[in-house]
A = this chain, B = another copy of it.
């Protein structure tokens, strides 16, 4: 190296060093620049305290036995977790509730015509999966909260079993009344399938995993690959949770009494007809035995046969009996009291119960939460304390019906609404891309956390990687947080109590078909999901950032402008929905009345021309539009306020006003036909189950063509939005 070259290099290095030194601290919502720097230092110490081995060892330990709610291992798991929290210095307790939880006594499924075949309904042990042979305490393949029954009937294949699938069947001249339907998993949450089947008059329901959606079509099957093998079946809840989750006998209240004698007949959320999950191995002979019309193209799966819809000649006999008992649900509650604002609680939860071994679901998320809590406890050892109180929650009984979280939150409803700042949920997590969904007011918090966390595979911020994948998929623009439907323990917080919530994790790579099966095991997880626990660790770090920022923020980082933006977008959507339905209804009615449907149909196939539907009226959206206008003006004013400049008392009062504001979206009467869901901005869909509906009162009234109800929901949704806006206007410092 010549001298001048060396000099140039030295200058270059100096420049880089200076540039680094001067790199501005990224802003963090809720923090002044100087405290943001301290916060980043804290997070960096937090990261250093973390240990990946814990993640691996805890998953291995807790997934060794079936640990569903009510099992001995569930109690042991709760106690194990509680012991850890205690050892790290948290005030820890186990809060137990006693919801109804049925387990199967009889499960019989046989085809009785045209040939006989008895379904195995069993997931055999596979080589290389250590736990797959464990029978002791194993919950067999079944659907929780199916009603019992003994039914025999002709079989009809109903695709995904959605309302539109039955409309299609009617066009094919097929009536499912008195029949047993065979639906495939997918496109809706499973509990919707027996509900819609019963609405259409079916007497029984089977749900199978088609290899198209969940099996060899997707990839090599377990144990060769990650995907669902022919004998694999998906357990799960079929409770009508879009009406309300939790103990079916105690909506709105906690199931605190262990001595009740439960009567499942008093439970409106138990299914109306018996329903059972089966494997594609068990489904294949039945599908093969169906005749009748060939199923529409997009109904056909990947089994090597021609999909016919029936009815019959396949005839099946389904007999189900359950043991309807109360099960103890052990929630672990661990608290670290805040040093500055102890009455503001940051809630962070994950469930600990699995269908059986539950390595991915829920333990990958559970251990992330535990390591997060341990990391924070390490920080506390050096004297640091969070400004706000942290509450870590390990739920029991999530799988059957969000039992633990729902009963706990119903029990503590009043104090939660008084103290809770936010609820951050995780559940099973995997390799891939940042996943953070939830309340619009937490959008900036989430974006900044994603910006400040490095992806373990690519070493860029996890948000940058997510945005790259969206760009590649043709979805550019900014990141906007998606609202939550249901499917995990945030449900009661978000939709019932109006507490801003997030659901976090990683997903999109790896994948597989162990979901809710015996093969959701340690061995499966480390081979196919997150072999070195990199993304479980990333979940720990992500949860840590969110929790610590919420805990330490000088003022709560809620962004009302994001809420307004979302509401504007949803408003435009529901208006467009009505317009599109109007156009489409007119188009279809013209095809019906003008005879085009009839002319276009193949006369050699049955085709029942659908009835013309009432035209879609123009709805008065003005109240909603006016409310959104008011909201936008109010939040524009709010944006002008810089909390940093306020005296502390004013700032604290404003912060409390913002916290409370989130609950202004709740309505006492709740949604039509499901009063437990009280939030006007979002709810799980009545006919999607997990999938969210935004402005649900309005949107579902339109979808279900309930025009007077739609007008009323517009008015009352507008009222809630106006109340929120006016509250902001009044409270603004």
Query: Interface segment, A37-45, A190-198, A468-476?
Result: A468-476
Q: In the complex, what distance in Å separates the CA atom of A259 from the CA atom of B465? A: 69
Among B221, B302, B602, contact of A509 (Cβ-Cβ < 8 Å): B602
The answer to whether B306 touches A600, judged by C-beta atoms less than 8 angstroms apart, is no
- A472-B591 CB under 8 A given contacts A306-B217, A460-B599: yes
Is A595 in contact with chain B by the CB < 8 A criterion? yes
Is A305 in contact with chain B by the CB < 8 A criterion? yes
A464 nearest in chain B by CB position: B599
Give a binary string over A208-220; 1 marks a CB under 8 Å from any B CB, 0 the rest: 0001000011111
The answer to whether A599 touches B468, judged by C-beta atoms less than 8 angstroms apart, is yes
A469 nearest in chain B by CB position: B600
Q: Using Cβ atoms and an 8 Å threshold, which residues of chain B touch A460?
A: 599
The answer to whether A216 touches B603, judged by C-beta atoms less than 8 angstroms apart, is no
CB distance from A347 to the nearest CB of B (A): 33
A473 nearest in chain B by CB position: B600
Is A304 in contact with chain B by the CB < 8 A criterion? yes
Q: In the complex, what distance in Å separates the CA atom of A432 from the CA atom of B473? A: 39
A604 nearest in chain B by CB position: B509
Is A225 in contact with chain B by the CB < 8 A criterion? yes
A458 nearest in chain B by CB position: B599
CB distance from A220 to the nearest CB of B (A): 5
Is A597 in contact with chain B by the CB < 8 A criterion? yes
Docked complex: A255-311 residues within 8 A CB-CB of B: 294, 300, 302-306
A300 nearest in chain B by CB position: B217
Q: In the complex, what distance in Å separates the CA atom of A629 from the CA atom of B469? A: 45
Is A596 in contact with chain B by the CB < 8 A criterion? yes
Q: Using Cβ atoms and an 8 Å threshold, which residues of chain B touch A225?
A: 306
CB distance from A192 to the nearest CB of B (A): 25
The answer to whether B465 touches A600, judged by C-beta atoms less than 8 angstroms apart, is yes
The answer to whether A471 touches B600, judged by C-beta atoms less than 8 angstroms apart, is yes
Q: In the complex, what distance in Å separates the CA atom of A527 from the CA atom of B473? A: 46
CB distance from A282 to the nearest CB of B (A): 15
Is A641 in contact with chain B by the CB < 8 A criterion? no
The answer to whether A472 touches B219, judged by C-beta atoms less than 8 angstroms apart, is no
Is A626 in contact with chain B by the CB < 8 A criterion? no
Q: In the complex, what distance in Å separates the CA atom of A604 from the CA atom of B528? A: 11
CB distance from A308 to the nearest CB of B (A): 8
Q: In the complex, what distance in Å separates the CA atom of A457 from the CA atom of B605? A: 12
Q: Using Cβ atoms and an 8 Å threshold, which residues of chain B touch A220?
A: 294, 306
Among B304, B432, B599, B604, contact of A211 (Cβ-Cβ < 8 Å): B304
Q: Using Cβ atoms and an 8 Å threshold, which residues of chain B touch A305?
A: 216
Give a binary string over A484-523; 1 marks a CB under 8 Å from any B CB, 0 the rest: 0000000000000000000000000100000000000000
Q: In the complex, what distance in Å separates the CA atom of A509 from the CA atom of B225? A: 41
The answer to whether A603 touches B306, judged by C-beta atoms less than 8 angstroms apart, is no
CB distance from A33 to the nearest CB of B (A): 29
Among B304, B597, B598, contact of A216 (Cβ-Cβ < 8 Å): B304
Q: In the complex, what distance in Å separates the CA atom of A140 from the CA atom of B433? A: 53
Q: Using Cβ atoms and an 8 Å threshold, which residues of chain B touch A471?
A: 591, 596, 600
Q: In the complex, what distance in Å separates the CA atom of A172 from the CA atom of B225? A: 19
Docked complex: A28-78 residues within 8 A CB-CB of B: none
Among B458, B465, B600, contact of A472 (Cβ-Cβ < 8 Å): B600
Among B302, B303, B306, contact of A219 (Cβ-Cβ < 8 Å): B306
The answer to whether A468 touches B596, judged by C-beta atoms less than 8 angstroms apart, is yes
Docked complex: A216-262 residues within 8 A CB-CB of B: 216-221, 225, 227
- A304-B303 CB under 8 A given contacts A471-B596, A599-B468, A600-B465: yes
The answer to whether B469 touches A221, judged by C-beta atoms less than 8 angstroms apart, is no
Q: In the complex, what distance in Å separates the CA atom of A219 from the CA atom of B309? A: 12
Among B302, B464, B469, B591, contact of A302 (Cβ-Cβ < 8 Å): B302
Return the 4 tightest CB-CB contacts between A and B, nearest first: A468-B599, A469-B600, A468-B596, A304-B304
Chain A residues at the B interface, C-beta cutoff of 8 Å: 211, 216-221, 225, 227, 294, 300, 302-306, 432, 457-458, 460, 464-465, 468-469, 471-473, 509, 591, 595-600, 602-604
17 A-B pairs within 8 Å (CB atoms) are namely: A211-B304, A217-B300, A218-B306, A302-B302, A302-B304, A303-B304, A304-B304, A457-B603, A458-B598, A464-B599, A465-B600, A468-B595, A468-B599, A471-B591, A471-B596, A472-B591, A472-B600
Q: A458-B603, A472-B591 are in contact. List 20 more A-B contacts (CB 8 A).
A: A211-B304, A216-B306, A218-B306, A219-B294, A219-B306, A220-B294, A302-B302, A303-B304, A432-B602, A457-B603, A465-B599, A465-B600, A468-B595, A468-B599, A468-B600, A469-B596, A469-B600, A471-B596, A472-B597, A509-B602
